[in-house]
Amino acid sequence: MHELITLNPDFQQNPDVKPRAFGDGSGPRVYIRTYGCQMNVSDSQTIETLLSEAGYRFVDEAENADVVLVNTCMIRESAEVRALGQLSNLAQLKKKNPHVVIGIIGCVAQAKRREILDAKPFVDLVVGPDAYRRLPVLLEERFISPPGTPGLLETTLLRDELYDDILPRHAGGVTAFVTIIRGCDKFCSFCVVPRTRGRERSRPLPSILREVESLVAQGVKDVMLLGQNVDSYRWEGQEFADCLQAVANVQGLHRVRYMTSHPSDISPRLLETMGAHSKIMPFLHLPVQAGNNRVLEMMNRPYTRERYLDIIQTAREKVPNLALSTDIIVGFPTETEAEFQETFDLLENVRYDTAFLFKYSARPLTKADRIEDDIPDDVKVARLERLIRRQQEISREQNLAQLGRESVLLIEGPAPKDETMWTGRTPDFRPAVISRNGEAPGDLVRVRLRELNGFTFVAERI
Ligand code: SAM
Ligand code: SF4
């Protein structure tokens, strides 16, 4: 049924093994630890549904589990190190309890495959992002394998796996992520995602709407539509603007937002749709990555600094009170001081409300990994710190300019440090607290932004 694009030659499924159906609440206990982006969070929720339907239970401590799954991130070396750093703890756990099944799943599993099994013989399963449906059968095979059997590897990438028939388990609360497109075809030269998550595929709109409606029925009021490049969304002649509009029309939903957009694909129609619909929030995450055209070309980002700035201007014209955020990488191979300065000037010029700033980290399987990583680490760190310092000042100035303004807060829940207050967000995604006065999570409250405490506003109702 599924078209295979990377058949994993190591995987030999035992045809005699069938997943067991455990009675409700009697199956093995699973602990799942998630690293990385919102897509990984959303994938872990899909796995929760998949395994719960097979009778598995979920627990909050690895020590109490029969199965421990680590959902890994590969985007930067630090993320990979953090996720794999867990493995020494898990080796201890396995020593104490040889029956516990240990699975490494997600992007590192996909990219490092056999290396993990060779280096960490106590790992029982290595499973890539398109193979989660196989988890019940793979787990069963582990349960019946004699101790010492080598771990199982399943990293097949599928061109059409969308998990669109599975409603991910909602973690509770009034906000939720909904994946609308998987994989990525952009092949930015620094990025491992197309190698770990495979080719781009859009989820059918009816299945997205079914998930949003189910979330709304569980109390969700604000959804974030997710994809590596949502602007590439295509389904039966509909594009992302149509999808966004359709989600915004779901009865009972207050707010919809999305990430991530790509400057090469974002359409004027999308910006118009954002500006025209009151339930689509005025927040745009538009990664620029670099402010110099030579570096952008080396990154395989097919737009120029000038084109990017034009898009920002159009977006600000079409969407009133638009808040902006971006991703930037400093210290890409061969980046000169003058080229970095152009990135700094762009950040200064756009005045983002927030920004995610990274130093370049060479990733296996990427085109940039074949270029010498020639910027010394202390130079990368100095560039990054300069950018972070300036962005913190700009974020603070942007926030200060909001003081005294009216806004509408979506109440998310009790404030973490003060139970007498609610915490919530404004339409442009600024966090704010307000004293409790009979409202409930999910309510919208008209407020004035009164004070700024760090990056959180103190609001009062009007
Ligand atoms: N698809 C999105 C896009 O096009 O921007 C986001 C992908 S990635 C999960 C999030 C961010 O990680 C990227 O925008 C980029 O800034 C950063 N990133 C990716 N690869 C990197 C690398 N090798 N070194 C440092 N940062 C990286
Ligand atoms: Fe990576 Fe580029 Fe795809 Fe984003 S668009 S996931 S940075 S390859």
pLDDT tens digits for range 363-382: 999 999 999 999 999 999 99
Q: Give the mean model confidence (pLDDT) for residues 21-48.
A: 88
pLDDT tens digits for range 262-277: 999 999 999 999 999 9
What is residue 211's predicted lDDT score, i.e. its pLDDT? Answer: 95
Question: Quick check: 3 pLDDT over 60?
Answer: no
Which two three-digit tokens encode residue 253? 């939903």
43 and 79 Cβ atoms separated by less than 8 Å = no
Output DSSP code: residue 280: B
Q: Give the mean model confidence (pLDDT) for residues 49-53.
A: 92
Q: How far is the CA of 44 from the centre of ligand 2 (A)?
A: 21
The reported pTM is: 0.93
Q: Give the mean model confidence (pLDDT) for residues 319-333.
A: 97
pLDDT tens digits for range 103-154: 999 999 999 988 898 888 899 999 999 999 999 999 999 998 888 888 999 9
What is residue 451's predicted lDDT score, i.e. its pLDDT? Answer: 97
8 pLDDT band, cuts 50/70/90, is: very low
Question: Quick check: 214 pLDDT over 90?
Answer: yes
Helix, strand, or coil here: 445? Answer: strand
Question: Quick check: 14 pLDDT over 70?
Answer: no
Question: Which secondary-structure segment (H or E) carries 238?
Answer: strand 238-239
Note the helical H segments in 59-204: 77-96, 107-119, 135-144, 193-197
Question: Quick check: 9 pLDDT over 90?
Answer: no
Query: Of 302, 309, 256, whose CA–CA distance to 286 is shortest?
Result: 309
What is residue 7's predicted lDDT score, i.e. its pLDDT? Answer: 38
Question: Which secondary-structure segment (H or E) carries 118?
Answer: helix 107-119
Query: Of 199, 27, 29, whose CA–CA distance to 129 is shortest?
Result: 199
Q: Which residue has the tokens 């307000």?
A: 434
Q: Give the mean model confidence (pLDDT) for residues 337-345.
A: 98
Query: Of 40, 42, 94, whose CA–CA distance to 72 is shortest?
Result: 40
Rounded CA separation 381/28 (Å): 46
What is residue 24's predicted lDDT score, i.e. its pLDDT? Answer: 66
What is residue 15's predicted lDDT score, i.e. its pLDDT? Answer: 64
13 pLDDT band, cuts 50/70/90, is: low
Question: Which secondary-structure segment (H or E) carries 399?
Answer: helix 377-400
Atom of ligand 1 nearest to the CA of 368: 23
Question: Quick check: 444 pLDDT over 50?
Answer: yes
426 and 406 Cβ atoms separated by less than 8 Å = no
Q: Give the mean model confidence (pLDDT) for residues 146-168.
A: 89
Query: Of 90, 94, 95, 92, whose CA–CA distance to 105 is shortest?
Result: 90
Which of the ligands is closest to the CA of residue 226?
A: 1
Question: Quick check: 224 pLDDT over 90?
Answer: yes
What is residue 330's predicted lDDT score, i.e. its pLDDT? Answer: 98
Atom of ligand 1 nearest to the CA of 228: 1
Distance of CA 249 to CAs 165, 213, 223, Å? Answer: 22, 11, 12
**How many residues are present in the chain?**
462
Sign of torsion over alpha carbons 376, 80, 288, 193: positive
What backbone phi and psi angles, to 5 degrees, belong to 371? Answer: -95, 145
Atom of ligand 2 nearest to the CA of 262: 5
Give the N- to C-terminal CA distance of the chain in Å, as an integer: 57
What is residue 57's predicted lDDT score, i.e. its pLDDT? Answer: 93
369 lines ligand 1 (CB under 6 A): no
Task: Count the alpha carbons within 13 Å of 385 in the hemisphere toward its beta carbon.
Answer: 6
Residue nearest to atom 5 of ligand 2 (CA): 186
Ramachandran category for residue 230: left, alpha or beta (phi over 0 → left; psi -120 to 50 → alpha): alpha
pLDDT tens digits for range 288-320: 999 999 999 999 999 999 999 999 999 999 999
Q: How far is the CA of 53 from the centre of ligand 1 (A)?
A: 34
Output DSSP code: residue 289: B
Atom of ligand 1 nearest to the CA of 327: 16
Q: Which residue has the tokens 């599993």?
A: 109
36 lines ligand 1 (CB under 6 A): no
What is residue 88's predicted lDDT score, i.e. its pLDDT? Answer: 83
Residue nearest to atom 15 of ligand 1 (CA): 327
Q: What percent of the chain has pLDDT over 90?
A: 83
